[in-house]
Amino acid sequence: MVYLLTREKYFAQGVLALVEEINNCSLEERRELALERARELKSYINDYMEAQGKIEAGLNLEDTFKENKKRIKYILNATEEDWQSWQWQIENRIYNVETLAKIINISEEAKNAIKMIEGRYRWAVSPYYLSLADNDNPGCPIRKQSIPSLLEYTNNLGQDDPMAEEFTSPAPAITRRYPDRLIINVTNQCAMYCRHCQRRRNIGELDTPAPREKIEEALKYIRENEELRDILLTGGDAFMLSNEEIDWLLTQLDEIPHVEIKRLGTRTPVTLPMRVDDELCTILEKHAPVYVNVHFNHPKEVTEASRKACFKLAKAGVPLGNQAVLLRDINNDSHVMKKLNHELLKILVKPYYIFHAKGVRGTAHFRTPVEDGIKIMNSLRGHTSGLAIPTFIVNAPEGFGKIPMLSEYIISLSSDKITIRNWENKDFEYFNPHD
């Protein structure tokens, strides 16, 4: 077959042999080449096409979620108006075993584990997020992220602060790791306390925003350092501040001439989508350019409610990027991560980062080998659109910044050519002019 001969010649003699061969082909032979290549490309995605139907995706589970919601509302004696109020959701977070056991089926062993752990690590989950959980399956990704596991107690590897944030804080409430940007930790509160949280050391018995005097000192530090052009508000969850407080803080940053962009980190579109109300969107639009980083870890979290929240933010002119964490038995699977990224694009969220889980004490059972992340990245590059490909990141110890984990695409360099490797693991010579 012309195609096979061409491919053999291509790899034996390079791209010029392929061009010459194609130029000598008839239209019919060229079409056969294209069809053969299309069949080859299709073979690369057959395994995903078979697997994706078995992956739980929130947009396909709305009927189940509605039934769960109906049951939880009955248990908590809530109206639909209550449910849609983010303040009600916060006030009625589930944080004791007795209430949890009324909502989902858990074993006595699991109940005892939760009681043991809650003396060491706080837990709380919003009624909304719990409505996404499988009532009977302890391996449900929603349950694993929100309900304490005995492994948090028995596996004590890691550090309370592996990023050494206490030593990268040149002013109150600030974390600074880079030349032109920094973080303001505006609150310790979240809508839900994720079991893999990197800042669980900051989660106390009370939810408290950073005191105004500390925020004022952080703003003073930013004003005095003109190289700081990009400010990230996080915590905790930046959207746990009141609308008034967010408006005030963004106004303060707008008045600093060298601050070019503001970013807010939030998981509320995942755990508390009703927080994204019209007033908040109006405030964010007023203070453009504002970017929002969200935190979806599994396609089951991408629901109709989260879609509405993200669409509202996008309509307000807020670009959205997702920062997932690689979590064992939740998303350290090539097909699951691809499905997550595809679902995110449906709701106008660009996959931005996949973080390798940090070595935080009490979270070691979530950590995976770095090779899991590299394998996932190799399964994405070329196999899906560039929009669906984030960057896989390992955070350097002691706060020395993000390091991308990349496959080897440049094999060798010389004065006139490079050898490069594509997504199919095939090597090519490429002309590399210097003059």
Q: Which DSSP state fits 432? A: -
Q: CA 156, CA 159: separation in Å to the nearest integer?
A: 9
Report how far Cα 54 is from the mean position of its chain's Cα atoms: 21
- pLDDT number for residue 4: 43
Closest CA to 161 of 372, 395, 422, 350: 395
Q: CA 343, CA 355: separation in Å to the nearest integer?
A: 19
Please tell me whether the peptide bond between 269 and the residue prior to it is cis, using omega within 30 degrees of 0: no
- pLDDT number for residue 430: 80
Q: CA 65, CA 183: separation in Å to the nearest integer?
A: 35
Token pair, residue 110, equals: 């699991």
- pLDDT number for residue 9: 47
Closest CA to 326 of 360, 368, 291: 368
Token pair, residue 296, equals: 């979806």
**What string of DSSP letters covers 343-369?**
HHHHTT-EEEEEEEPP-BTT-GGG---
First-last CA distance in the chain: 41
Q: CA 185, CA 253: separation in Å to the nearest integer?
A: 14
- pLDDT number for residue 208: 80
Q: CA 232, CA 251: separation in Å to the nearest integer?
A: 14
Q: Are strands 391-395 and 417-421 parallel, antiparallel or unpaired?
A: unpaired
Token pair 């969200």: residue: 294
Give whole-number Cα distances, 335 to 47, 231, 342, 422, in Å.
9, 34, 11, 20
Alpha-carbon dihedral 31, 32, 35, 37, rounded to 10 degrees: -110
Q: Which residues of the chain have pLDDT under 50?
A: 1-10, 12
- pLDDT number for residue 422: 86
- pLDDT number for residue 14: 54
Helix (H) or strand (E) holding 265: strand 261-265
Token pair, residue 163, equals: 């990023």
Q: CA 72, CA 101: separation in Å to the nearest integer?
A: 11
- pLDDT number for residue 2: 39
Token pair 């995605």: residue: 45
- pLDDT number for residue 395: 83
Helix (H) or strand (E) holding 392: strand 391-395
Domains, the chain, in order of start with CATH, read: 1-52 (no CATH), 58-138 (no CATH), 165-404 (3.20.20.70), 408-435 (no CATH)
Q: What is the pTM of this model?
A: 0.91
